[in-house]
Amino acid sequence: MPNKKTRLSVGEYLIEALSKKGVDHIFGVPGDFILGLHVIGDERGTRMVNCTREEAATYAADGFAREKGLGAVAVTYGVGILATMAAVGSANAERVPLVVIGGAPGLAERDGRRIHHMPSADMDSPYRMMQEIAPYCVLLDDPDEAYDQIDWLLLHVQEDLLPGYIELPRDLIGAVPEHPRPVTRPAETLVPASRLSAAADDVITRINAAKRPIMWVGHGARSLQYGDRVLAFAEATGIPMVESVMGKGAVDETHPLVMGVYVGAGSTPELREYVESVDLVIEVGVNINDITTGAFTSNIAPENRIHFSATGTSVEHRFYEGVDLAGMAHVLERRIDEIKPNKVPKNLPHAWAGEVTDSDRITTDVVADRLQRFVEKSDIVVCDVGVGAHLSMDARLNRSGQFHIARLYVGMGFAVPASYGAALARGKGRPVVLVGDGSFQMTGFDLSTAVREGVAPIVLVLDNHGYGAERSIHDGDFNDIAQWDYAAVGAVVGAIGIQVHTPEQLDEALARARKDRDTAYIIQVDLDKLDVPRGLKALGEGLADLMG
């Protein structure tokens, strides 16, 4: 045990612990209560990225975490912490390993005085609010326990793919532990080997009994970065696959066994018929909800399901608690020789966008076609919700883990900040961003942070003059937004802006942006306000029915 003179302060230890896990960028806004940590990070070689606002910083950290397995955002007390919460809710819903570090009043200040940034007279209210959306929370109120608390939280955030919150009083940032000690916690319950073995036996037996199995690859496989492992399993067994809307891009979609995105009534008719007529669907980390099932229009019988999730494995109606996707993947790979190979059906249907050559103006079908032809293998495709989310489902991408979207949470404003966070984490590749006009108005100016950090995204602003997703459910003037000259934003933030109205203009703009690799681009894509992608139209009709 090092003596006190060589021990790290709590703030130094936190920066060092994150750095050892690959977090070399921490995003945030350096408010007064957290300023000391920004100073330490800067001194110790971590890039402390000052973003335009806390929500954008949290989305940037989210994008970083999706690429690198852990991300962090550091903000001040009260106003800073609360401003992250919409984006932390997204990380919780989407299972992203994100750490929020919230500065707080010092322990010596907690004597009943009212301190600035307090949202109420209760100084602990921000911590309690964060507990509702961050499954792992610690208050570092004892220097001697701080090392252990930090290690415990980072371990669980990474292992469980869920966000965590560290509240750091400002007078603890520079505190050095006198006698570091571990915190006593209840022992964790391990899954018995017999249960894991029984689940694997059941899974293998059910797969071997199937005559026409498929895999439905979901968000769990995407979060664990299992794309290449899933493809290897498919090749060994001859089992073709579809993706869920949350699992979009989990695998290399150019592989002949990958048919496209299945989403109930939002699928192409041929793909839907194929999926719903097989005798076994192996759901690999699929989150079953209204979004992934096309407003609950999917038709897969329970007796035709195997479901691997973060909490357990289901085979038909049998459930093996704690036998999660990660554990089952390891066992099935070891026992792959016990699974009889299937003969891959001929003429598998697919849901990829067709080539559009005869359109006088840009449509969502044109954008989907151009996207799949434009994207390079090294690119990082980041998409916001709405029209872009749905047209991108039909665009065939060419690398496992290439696509990022907050699909279940449906939080607008994710894509622009997440794109540079992902690029900084990956250290190579160029972000290609699809964002609606409404979403761009929320966080689009944070593109300036990307430019300052040396990232050059190509941002396609899909300008359909309002909230296209809401129009697909129920139209009205309330879906209109102020019309911006999005291309002109480029001059403000250090990018080049271009307006396009025809497919030819879009092709020219994309070619120019591709050639100019060191400059960020905003391409304002003019769409008719009633141009709705096929998948969005079907989902809108389904959601309208659910809403009565």
Q: Indicate whether 401 belongs to any domain.
A: yes
Q: Determine which of 114-123, 191-200, 379-388, 518-527 has the lowest per-residue pLDDT on average.
A: 114-123
Q: Give the predicted TM-score (pTM) of the model.
A: 0.95
Q: How far apart are CA 279 and CA 64, in angstroms?
A: 39
Q: Indicate whether 461 belongs to any domain.
A: yes
Q: Indicate whether 263 belongs to any domain.
A: yes
Residue 8, SS3?
coil
- Write the CB contacts of 386 (distance below 8 Å, at least 6 apart in sequence): 412, 436, 438, 439, 462, 467, 468, 469, 536
Sign of CA dihedral 282, 285, 291, 295: positive
Q: Quick: pLDDT tens for 262-283.
A: 999 999 999 999 999 999 999 9
Q: What is the pLDDT of residue 293?
A: 95
Clarify whether residues 66 and 213 are in a common domain.
Answer: no
Clarify whether residues 536 and 394 are in a common domain.
Answer: yes
Q: Which of 414, 432, 434, 291 has its CA nearest to residue 364?
A: 434
Clarify whether residues 164 and 278 are in a common domain.
Answer: no
Q: What is the pLDDT of residue 115?
A: 84
Q: Which of 16, 240, 41, 51 has its CA nearest to residue 146?
A: 16
Mean predicted lDDT score pLDDT of the chain? 94
Q: Indicate whether 358 belongs to any domain.
A: no
The predicted model gives 69-92 an average pLDDT of: 97
Examine the fold and report which residue of 304, 338, 372 is the final residue of a domain before the chain moves on.
338
Do 70 and 22 contact (CB within 8 A), yes or no? yes
Element (H, E) at 380: strand 380-383
Q: How far apart are CA 215 and CA 257, in angstroms?
A: 10
**pLDDT above 70: residue 175:** yes
Clarify whether residues 231 and 314 are in a common domain.
Answer: yes
- Write the CB contacts of 314 (distance below 8 Å, at least 6 apart in sequence): 305, 306, 307, 320
Q: Indicate whether 3 belongs to any domain.
A: no
Select the highest-mean-pLDDT range: 109-113, 134-138, 390-394, 479-483. Answer: 134-138
More confident residue, 493 or 481: 493
**pLDDT above 60: residue 2:** no
Q: What is the pLDDT of residue 473?
A: 76
Clarify whether residues 100 and 227 are in a common domain.
Answer: no
Clarify whether residues 131 and 235 are in a common domain.
Answer: no
Q: Quick: pLDDT tens for 205-223.
A: 999 999 999 999 999 999 9
Examine the fold and report which residue of 116, 134, 169 is the final residue of a domain before the chain moves on.
169
Q: Indicate whether 349 belongs to any domain.
A: no
Q: Total structural domains in the chain?
A: 3
**pLDDT above 70: residue 539:** no
Provide the H-helix boundaries in 311-430.
325-334, 364-374, 387-392, 415-426
Sign of CA dihedral 494, 499, 503, 509: negative
Clarify whether residues 135 and 207 are in a common domain.
Answer: no
The predicted model gives 50-77 an average pLDDT of: 98
Clarify whether residues 224 and 298 are in a common domain.
Answer: yes
Q: What is the pLDDT of residue 153?
A: 98
Q: How far apart are CA 544 and CA 295, in angstroms?
A: 9
Clarify whether residues 526 and 402 are in a common domain.
Answer: yes
CATH number of the domain residue 313 falls in = 3.40.50.1220
Do 64 and 71 contact (CB within 8 A), yes or no? yes
**pLDDT above 90: residue 453:** yes
More confident residue, 469 or 149: 149
**pLDDT above 70: residue 542:** no
Q: What is the pLDDT of residue 540?
A: 65
Phi, psi for 217 (deg, rounded to 5): -95, 125
Q: How far apart are CA 478 and CA 546, in angstroms?
A: 21
Q: Indicate whether 378 belongs to any domain.
A: yes
- Domain containing 529 equals 364-546
Q: Indicate whether 5 belongs to any domain.
A: no
Clarify whether residues 155 and 16 are in a common domain.
Answer: yes
- Displacement of CA 49 from its chain's centroid (Å): 20
- Three-state SS annotation for 155-206: HHHHHHCCCEEEEEECCCCCCCCCCCCCCCCCCCCCCCHHHHHHHHHHHHHH
Clarify whether residues 316 and 464 are in a common domain.
Answer: no
Clarify whether residues 149 and 16 are in a common domain.
Answer: yes
CATH number of the domain residue 422 falls in = 3.40.50.970
More confident residue, 316 or 476: 316
Examine the fold and report which residue of 169, 202, 233 is the final residue of a domain before the chain moves on.
169
